[in-house]
Chains A and B, each alone.
Chain A
Amino acid sequence: MGNVPTSVKHCLSYEQLIQDYPWLGSRLQEEKEMVPTRVKIQLINMLSETGLPVIEATSFVSLKWVPQMADHTEVLQAIHRSSHARYPVLTPNMHGFQDAVAAGATEVAVFGSASETFSQKNIYCSIDASMLRFEEVICTAKQQQIPVRGYVSCALGCPYEGPIEPTKVAEVVKRLYELGCYEVSLGDTIGVGTPGSMAKMLHYVMEEVPSSALAVHCHDTYGQALANILTALQMGICAVDSSVAGLGGCPYAQGSSGNVSTEDVLYMLHGMGIKTGVDLSKVIEAGDFICKALNRKTNSKVAQARSKSS
């Protein structure tokens, strides 16, 4: 199975107060109300204290699309950056990239899709056209020695196209990797994947890109996330995206869950003796904080169980 990691290299956690995709700015979300900048900053600072090695801080997309991220510069400049962590920011294009760098970003992320229809509906262009856009960003980033992480959405299914061919996913992942992304995160955007489809997709993707450059970004909309992550680990993946308290619902199924909770992922990994360097109880605290601030319940089962144990 190739290189077997002795521990999960890092567990990526990102703050998601609104969905990733710019066009969804006006869409439903339980956390519709604008979250105050100081709350965002405090959350990120608390997450930095947990030992999480990567924390996605904000997004440099147009304020029109994602008003929630209008304070991106303020957030990036105000957070206390731990020497043990990295703080990537989303940059959909050159404009966003330049703003991000001006604000002090030292790592960026670009979002592609394995589904043509999703790409069209989401960022109003084809996959090919989006790759050209990303190429610009990645080339410039390379010159400035700024690492770029790639994301591929709809890796296990698309809300419009339904099932997505694993070969198509592999093609898009390969393109992002060859353009220069140091890592590509495979997103099960609508959470429909199961260990069966996850294993199949990874099999094809890993023929094109080494497992050390891959990550999984599982959504828990159908409760499959941990089983899917386990499958990915078994196939040699050692980077996992998750969201504290499972923040961020699924925009395609109102009221349903989206992101898998960092707490639940950590519980599983630690239970299996896999090292992450993260302090679970501190993540739970951060989760408690943001849930209070947003006036909503946590989506993390671990957090729920811990707070209710007699």
Chain B
Amino acid sequence: FSFFNISPVQWLVQVGASAGKALPQRVKIVEVGPRDGLQNEKTLVPTEVKIHLIDMLSEAGLPVIEATSFVSPEWVPQMADQVEVMKGINRRPGVSYPVLTPNLKGFQAAVKAGAAEVAIFGAASELFSKKNINCSVDESLQRFEEVTKAAKEAGVRVRGYVSCVLGCPYEGQVSPDKVAQVAKRLYSMGCYEISLGDTIGVGTPGGMAELLEAVSREVPVDALAVHCHDTYGQALANILIALQMGISVVDSSVAGLGGCPYAQGASGNVATEDVVYMLHGLGIQTGVDLPKLMDAGAFICRSLNRKTSSKVAQATCKL
């Protein structure tokens, strides 16, 4: 760890010292449970349950709720009811409901179904890109350029994701500069925000800071978000460091839905409840009503017949 040429703890203290003045007053939470979360849950969820979940999340005050995915239902059967979900949800004014669109075809279907915002997923690892979407990073970016062009014309906002930012299940270590390059391209092609995903949850605060330093040289920090996985229990610590470095957008999943596909049975997404608890404890506003959020979490866990992965939810309901 040769970040500042000082010891890791010295560096940590420095970041912490300046953080007191620099923590954002408000953080935007991007709720990915209905898409990223459910997509990675084995149990197929009925359409009305998905719709009700999204409606409950809207009521809980979340400003962005990733609703569904316009990928081929062959690949992701969980998202086969994409059109029905889009049409069935109760859209709260002021709330965004982005949907995943892997290519132009998906984009067109999404817009037809009423999507006003879409998301595209790049990777910082060549191997991951090949194994995941069967093409190189460059090829995928070309594909996405078609989407962003069409989106611009249609007046639709595009959010970009970069996966494997702190490690890849195939390549191992990933260079922050590579992540920065991919983020830069997504930003230049018109993505209004780039979410940096620690796909296998291996990142720790030092790596997160190093990553953000590199990426924020290419993309303004206001346009960056972090999407931390809690597979190794590091998510909240990583999010905290990200906040200290100026990040004010955090992705999370209600009840911590969505396991890690690379470590079966291990956890994946960080739980929105736990993130909100931390943010509120720091005096940071989110607009989220935690009890209502917990109700949404309880609802979806009952429907999935699974225990919540949120520690806040586990603690509170038993006191």
Q: Tell me if A236 counts as interface (CB < 8 A to partner B).
A: yes
Considering the complex, which residues of chain A in the window 219-240 have a beta carbon less than 8 Å from any beta carbon of chain B?
A: 220-224, 226-227, 229-231, 233-236, 238
Q: Which residues of B contact A222 (CB under 8 A)?
A: 274, 277, 311-312, 315
**Interface code B263-305, partner A: CB below 8 Å = 1, 0 otherwise?**
1111100010010011011110000000000000000000000
Contact of A194 among B207, B278, B318, B319 (CB under 8 A): B278
Q: Report the minimum CB–CB distance from B189 to chain A (whole Å).
A: 33
* A203 nearest CB neighbor, chain B only: B20
Considering the complex, which residues of chain B in the window 170-221 have a beta carbon less than 8 Å from any beta carbon of chain A?
A: 201, 203-207
Q: Tell me if A84 counts as interface (CB < 8 A to partner B).
A: no
Given contacts A253-B315, A255-B314, whether A305 and B260 have CB atoms under 8 Å apart is yes
Q: Tell me if B154 counts as interface (CB < 8 A to partner A).
A: no
Q: How far does the alpha carbon of A274 sit from the alpha carbon of B240 in the complex, in Å?
A: 18
Q: Which residues of A contact B44 (CB under 8 A)?
A: none
Q: Which residues of B contact A193 (CB under 8 A)?
A: 281
Q: How far does the alpha carbon of A5 sit from the alpha carbon of B274 in the complex, in Å?
A: 30
Considering the complex, which residues of chain B in the window 229-271 have a beta carbon less than 8 Å from any beta carbon of chain A?
A: 230-234, 236-237, 239-241, 260, 262-267, 271
Contact of A1 among B13, B233, B267, B318 (CB under 8 A): B13
Q: How far does the alpha carbon of A222 sit from the alpha carbon of B310 in the complex, in Å?
A: 8
Contact A191 B315 (CB under 8 A): yes
- Select the stretch in A42-50, A176-184, A261-269 that faces chain B: A261-269
Contact B318 A253 (CB under 8 A): yes
Q: Report the minimum CB–CB distance from A161 to chain B (whole Å).
A: 14
Q: Tell me if A102 counts as interface (CB < 8 A to partner B).
A: no
Contact of B204 among A238, A253, A272 (CB under 8 A): A272
Q: Report the minimum CB–CB distance from A38 to chain B (whole Å).
A: 31
Q: Which residues of A contact B311 (CB under 8 A)?
A: 220-223, 256-257
Contact A308 B264 (CB under 8 A): yes
Q: Which residues of A contact B13 (CB under 8 A)?
A: 1, 4, 233-236
Residues of B contacting A: mostly: helix
Contact A231 B240 (CB under 8 A): yes
Q: Tell me if B135 counts as interface (CB < 8 A to partner A).
A: no
Q: How far does the alpha carbon of A227 sit from the alpha carbon of B260 in the complex, in Å?
A: 21
Contact A310 B277 (CB under 8 A): no
Q: Which residues of B contact A253 (CB under 8 A)?
A: 314-316, 318-319
Q: How far does the alpha carbon of A250 sit from the alpha carbon of B278 in the complex, in Å?
A: 19
**Interface code B1-44, partner A: CB below 8 Å = 1, 0 otherwise?**
10000011110110111011000000000000000000000000
What would 5 A/B residue contacts be, using CB atoms closer than 8 Å? A4-B10, A226-B233, A230-B205, A271-B207, A274-B8
The 6 closest A-B pairs by CB, nearest first: A194-B281, A271-B204, A234-B16, A273-B1, A223-B311, A301-B233
Q: Other than the known A223-B274, A224-B236, A308-B264, what 18 A-B pairs have Cβ atoms closer than 8 Å?
A: A4-B10, A6-B10, A221-B315, A222-B312, A223-B278, A226-B233, A253-B316, A256-B311, A256-B315, A264-B233, A267-B232, A268-B204, A268-B205, A272-B206, A301-B231, A301-B233, A304-B266, A305-B260
- B residues sitting closer than 8 Å to A (CB atoms) are 1, 7-10, 12-13, 15-17, 19-20, 201, 203-207, 230-234, 236-237, 239-241, 260, 262-267, 271, 274, 277-278, 280-283, 310-312, 314-316, 318-319
